[in-house]
Chain A
């Protein structure tokens, strides 16, 4: 799938997919990577080490620093795939150097699938 580069990098790993938007500030524990927003589809799951696939970000601009905190705690997602990346997540990925791509039809990605992300060229491939 061809999308648009938000921040460069090449990784492969397991997809963690949700159809719900994510607010990193207040919605994700900066120390563990666990989604803590009440009632969120991913509540209780950790984004750490996953290729995190979600429609777009929401909430406070402090969310960018939460991504940075996750990176420093080695709990960051491996990469981020969005339908549309919002500025909070985009800035978070740039300052934390997390590979990110948007303009992807995220419905085509299933939870647990293995993905290859080539953010330099904006390409996401489903391996298995």
Chain B
């Protein structure tokens, strides 16, 4: 069959729309050919990963600058977290050098017409596709949330391929853009009660590790908040390769129910908790907001920190998107949190900020944050509820 292009797409590939668009189209069509796509499809929303200078490095920045020479986003495009709060980085202990380079990355994206708000939860701040919409997102937790909870359709893009979709407004039709590749393959019966976000993260850990890349169908979860589902999405995508799940009674996609069934009991949750709790962890860093905290979570956190004081020697980061932080400022939550000695950090998170060597032990409610804290930053970790995390902070 081969990949068929429209006249406009052929023109993009031929260079009629400029150098960056041609390069972008080369990426999209090559991926399409590798995966046997028959055509390209329009996307209405893009979310780009590879924003932290810490991960991109000088070469990545050079590539972005080259693309920014004549590239321009054709659809709504937002960014994944950067390595720092773009305004208040100084008081979070980020170096001048790093800040300068991080700003150059953001500037390159801005030049391309990207909305330079940096968050792993674009769906909470105005980059919200609807059911059935084709999009090209890169952040693995957001991809999982979009496919599963919203019912939009996206593959798990890399940084350059997501940018390529932004500049062309297209993606190749393969993988999770096709209904037949979205059906559940294994059923997981949850036979234990899940309470807070940390429990949902632990469930993601268990299912992620067991399921790998096979698509799970989860039963036995009677109720889940948006915050709990974002925690689960992050964890299941981190510990497995999964970019979509089905949760009975909660997620909107239709699917056949798989025969093959596995059971998840209370003891599995305990075991998962034990694997994320390192022995002898000395907690000097507490971080909540992986994925980025919602305004509801921040309101709760502010209430818990009211009149309290963070213990000397401990650092607290509540990470969120900039528009959410602005709302928190308006509502007085920011003042309450900062008065207690904690930081409300926008644009960044504990997984992508340059934090190696600054702390030794992280307490968090996020199973995903544990993974990156251990692997990249060599911190020991403990996973607790948000309330327990904040109690530890002010103990």
A interface with B by C-beta (< 8 Å)? 4, 6-7, 30, 61-62, 64-66, 68-69, 72-73, 85, 87-88, 90-91, 94-95, 102
Q: Could you tell me the distance in whole angstroms from the C-beta of B301 to the nearest C-beta in chain A?
A: 31
Q: How far is the CA of A66 from the CA of B158 in the complex (A)?
A: 13
CB atoms of A94 and B34 under 8 A apart: no
A65–B60 CB distance below 8 A: yes
| A7 / chain B contacts, CB cutoff of 8 Å | 30
Partner of B159, one of A62, A72, A73: A62
Task: Determine the residue in chain B with the shortest Cβ distance to A91.
Answer: B160
5 A-B pairs whose Cβ atoms sit less than 8 Å apart in the complex: A6-B34, A68-B63, A72-B59, A87-B161, A102-B34
CB pair A64–B160 under 8 Å, yes or no, is yes
B175 CB to closest chain A CB (Å) equals: 10
**10 additional contacts, CB 8 Å, given A65-B160, A91-B158?**
A7-B30, A61-B49, A61-B138, A61-B159, A61-B161, A62-B158, A64-B159, A65-B56, A69-B59, A90-B30
Question: Is B50's CB within 8 Å of the partner chain A?
Answer: yes
**Contact assessment for A65 and B50 in the assembled complex, using a CB-CB cutoff below 8 Å:** yes
Residues of B within 8 A of A (CB): 23, 26-27, 30-31, 33-34, 49-50, 55-60, 62-63, 138, 157-161
Q: Are A94 and B23 in contact (CB-based, < 8 A)?
A: yes
Nearest CB of chain A from residue B46's CB, rounded to whole Å = 15
For residue A30, which residues in chain B have a CB less than 8 angstroms away from its CB? 57, 59
From A61, A66, A90, contact of B34 by CB (8 A): A90
In the bound complex, what is the Cα–Cα distance between A62 and B48 (angstroms)? 12
Q: Are B34 and A87 in contact (CB under 8 A)?
A: yes
Nearest CB in chain A to that of B161: its residue: A91
Q: Judging by beta carbons under 8 Å apart, are A91 and B56 in contact?
A: no
A90/B138 in contact, CB under 8 A: no
Whether the Cβ atoms of A65 and B161 lie closer than 8 Å is: no
> How far is B23's CA from A64's CA once the two chains are assembled, in angstroms?
14
In the bound complex, CA of A60 to CA of B158 (Å): 8
Which one of B30, B31, B50 has the greatest number of beta carbons of chain A within 10 Å? B30
